[in-house]
């Protein structure tokens, strides 16, 4: 298995790297389809055998059977959930990361990779206006990013409670998190994992978390019972940005950790046309953004940043005798800042693409997606049978087709996928089924929007 001959590496390399090159050169990529387990078993058969199939056979099975049974998340008319549209440079570099056998959990083992990742993190920290002291780590996704930030927040609150108790004050252990209903499901899930209670704050008419609503809930429930407030800059369903500055004020007033979830929308910090909507994000104690959503990196990549990394380190450093050589140093060890120990240098594809193209290209690409989203919004407004459901902050457009019920939206969505035209699943809000576009791919065009809207006539 190891130490293949050079000739074998060359042959299999041609298949594997040739496939990667061919996929990158597809314009457009196919949308592809979903199969059932029975269909896949029928087409692929038993792939794991005692003798092995051989690399060429395994590769052709992947190419002919398995890969087409996966939707292309970078298809320009894949507008469901939050798509992923990595730059070519980022995708190519993902191959390099795999071929390099680097461990990026510690400085000792991965200093070069960690150095480059940290420069990419610094770019994001600067976009957010976080202080020089800020730092963090690339984790697999927003879910782990949010969980890690909340674990750090609770750890800080517990330390403060311990200090207070030592001074003879009545000890209390904050166990609550406040956020709006629009906050991502991973916040609830993090609370469940931590056995914490999520208190939802009613959003404003524009679906935002506001300072006054937050203050009311926190003061009613007891500020000392909260260890974190989560504001979202770009809710997943609507792309709404909470009133970050107001939320920061309330957190500061009560000494509560201010976490900002920008998994989707944080990328738009790089877009000058909307930057001012993020005012207040610079006051976050922790902040996340998923480069695998709107910063053109492949899965799986979330940037997690802390204002004061020492507080996160205190919460997350794993202590084990076999790790002493790593933990007993002042080195920057990325693994100390999140849930998880072993880590891939998953920030490097983003770093390579940023280093290759420069940050201006990112601003341009994000502005382009915002332009297409604005176009979609305009077309919806102009249409007699379509109606915008909420205002648009970023690149998510939610709208209704007058006269349609849940089943109509589903049938429409199924038909678009079956015809390999587009992947646009319905969403819902306040019990109503709705249509939703999430546009993060700079290759999505006005024509794509028109083509999809034409199917709703």
303 CB-near residues (< 8 Å, 6+ apart): 120, 121, 124, 136, 138, 145, 288, 289, 290, 291, 347, 350
Q: Is 143 a binder of ligand PLP (CB under 6 A)?
A: yes
302 binds ligand PLP (CB under 6 A): yes
Q: What stretch of H or E contains 441?
A: none
Q: Does 263 bind ligand PLP (CB under 6 A)?
A: yes
Q: Is 55 exposed, middle or buried (0-12, 13-18, 19+ CB in 10 A)?
A: middle
Instruction: Annotate 216-263 with DSSP letters as a single string.
Output: HHHHHH-GGGEEEEEEEBS-TTT-PBP-HHHHHHHHHHHT-EEEEE-T
Residue 82 is a binding residue for ligand PLP (CB under 6 A): yes
Q: Please state the closest distance from residue 268 (CB atom) to ligand PLP, in A.
A: 12
Q: Which is nearer to ligand PLP, 372 or 396 (CB)?
A: 396
- Say whether the peptide bond before residue 28 is cis (omega within 30 degrees of 0): yes
Count CA within 13 A, CB hemisphere, residue 391. 8
Q: Is 238 in the site for ligand PLP (CB under 6 A)?
A: no
Cross-strand partners of 399: 388, 435
Rule CB under 6 A: say whether 186 interacts with ligand PLP: yes
Residue 224 lies near ligand PLP (rule: CB under 6 A): no
Report the distance separating Cα 173 and Cα 344, nearest Å: 35
Where do we find the tokens 């332009």?
A: 371
Number of residues that bind ligand PLP (CB under 6 A): 14
**Pairing outcome for strands 226-232 and 257-261:** parallel
- Considering beta carbons, is residue 236 or 441 the nearer one to ligand PLP? 236
Q: Cβ closer to ligand PLP: 401 or 436?
A: 436
Q: Is 290 in the site for ligand PLP (CB under 6 A)?
A: yes
Question: What distance in Å separates the CA atoms of residue 302 and residue 117, rounded to the nearest whole number?
Answer: 12
Q: Decide: is 261 part of the binding site for ligand PLP (CB under 6 A).
A: yes
- Report the site for ligand PLP in 340-369 (rule: CB under 6 A): none
User: Residue 398, interface with ligand PLP (CB under 6 A)?
Assistant: no
The string of DSSP codes covering 15-58 is HHHHHHHHHHT-SSPP------HHHHHHHH-----SS---HHHH
Scanning 173-181, 256-264, 276-284, 373-381 for contacts with ligand PLP by CB under 6 A, the matching segment is: 256-264
On whether the CB atoms of residues 16 and 9 are closer than 8 A, the answer is no
Site for ligand PLP in 146-165 (CB under 6 A): 146
Is residue 242 a contact residue for ligand PLP (CB under 6 A)?
Answer: no
> Can you read off the two tokens belonging to residue 43?
């087409």
Q: Which of 118, 180, 232, 353 is close enough to bind ligand PLP by CB under 6 A?
A: 232
Report whether 295 contacts 319 (CB < 8 A): no
* Window of 215-223, 260-268, 329-337, 442-450 that interacts with ligand PLP by CB under 6 A: 260-268
Q: What is the CB-side half-sphere exposure of residue 366 using CA atoms within 13 A?
A: 23
Q: How far is the CB of 301 from ligand PLP (least distance, A)?
A: 8
* 184 near ligand PLP, judged by CB under 6 A: yes
Could you give the count of Cα atoms lying within 13 Å of 63 in the half-sphere of its Cβ?
15
Q: Rounded to the nearest whole angstrom, what is the least distance from the CB of residue 339 to ligand PLP in the complex?
A: 12
Q: Which residue is nearest to ligand PLP (CB)?
A: 142
Site membership for ligand PLP, residue 437 (CB under 6 A): no
Q: Which of 86, 135, 142, 334 binds ligand PLP (CB under 6 A)?
A: 142
Q: Which of 218, 264, 220 is nearest to 242 (CA)?
A: 264
- Does position 180 interact with ligand PLP (CB under 6 A)? The reply is no
209 binds ligand PLP (CB under 6 A): no
- Which region, judged by CB under 6 A, interacts with ligand PLP, from 101-109, 139-147, 268-276, 381-389? 139-147
Q: Is 141 in the site for ligand PLP (CB under 6 A)?
A: yes
Considering only residues 148, 236, 369, 413, which one is a binding residue for ligand PLP as defined by CB under 6 A? Answer: 236
Element (H, E) at 400: strand 396-401
- List interacting residues with ligand PLP (CB under 6 A): 82, 141-143, 146, 184, 186, 232, 236, 261, 263-264, 290, 302
């Amino acid at each position: 298995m190891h130490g293949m001959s050079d000739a074998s590496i060359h042959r299999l390399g041609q298949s594997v790297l040739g496939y990667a090159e061919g996929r990158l050169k597809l314009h457009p990529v196919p949308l592809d389809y979903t199969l059932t387990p029975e269909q896949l078993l029928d087409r692929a058969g038993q792939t794991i055998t005692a003798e092995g199939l051989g690399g060429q056979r395994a590769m052709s099975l992947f190419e002919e059977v398995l890969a087409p049974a996966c939707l292309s998340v970078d298809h320009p008319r894949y507008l469901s959930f939050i798509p992923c549209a990595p730059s070519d440079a980022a995708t190519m570099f993902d191959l390099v990361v795999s071929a390099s056998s680097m461990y990026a959990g510690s400085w000792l083992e991965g200093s070069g990779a960690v150095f480059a990742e940290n420069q990419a993190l610094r770019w994001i920290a600067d976009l957010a206006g976080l202080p020089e002291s800020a730092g963090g780590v690339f984790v697999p996704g927003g879910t782990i990013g949010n969980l890690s930030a909340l674990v750090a927040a609770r750890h800080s609150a517990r330390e403060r409670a311990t200090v207070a108790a030592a001074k003879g004050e009545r000890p209390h252990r904050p166990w609550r998190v406040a956020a709006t209903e629009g906050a991502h499901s991973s916040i609830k899930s993090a609370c469940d994992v931590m056995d914490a209670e999520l208190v939802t704050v009613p959003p404003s008419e524009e679906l935002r978390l506001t300072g006054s609503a937050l203050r009311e809930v926190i003061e009613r429930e007891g500020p000392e019972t909260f260890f974190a407030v989560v504001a979202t800059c770009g809710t997943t369903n609507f792309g709404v940005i909470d009133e970050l500055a107001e939320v920061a004020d309330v957190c500061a007033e009560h000494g509560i950790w201010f976490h900002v979830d920008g998994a989707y929308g944080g990328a738009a910090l790089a877009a000058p046309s909307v930057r001012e909507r993020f005012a207040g994000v610079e006051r976050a104690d922790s902040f996340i953004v998923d480069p695998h959503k709107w910063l053109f990196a492949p899965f799986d990549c979330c940037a997690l940043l802390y204002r004061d990394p020492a507080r996160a380190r205190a919460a997350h450093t794993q202590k084990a005798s076999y790790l002493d050589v790593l933990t007993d140093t002042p080195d920057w060890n990325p693994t100390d800042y999140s849930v998880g120990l072993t880590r891939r240098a998953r920030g490097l594809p983003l770093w390579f693409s940023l280093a290759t193209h420069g940050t201006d290209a990112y601003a341009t690409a994000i502005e382009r997606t915002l332009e297409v989203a604005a176009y979609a919004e305009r077309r919806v407004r102009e249409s007699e049978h379509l109606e915008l459901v909420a205002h648009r902050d970023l690149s998510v457009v939610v709208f209704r087709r007058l006269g349609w019920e849940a089943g109509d939206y589903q049938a429409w969505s199924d038909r678009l996928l079956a015809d390999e035209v587009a992947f646009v699943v319905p969403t819902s809000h306040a019990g109503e089924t709705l249509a939703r576009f999430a546009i993060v791919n700079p290759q999505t065009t006005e024509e794509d929007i028109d083509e999809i809207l034409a199917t709703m006539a």
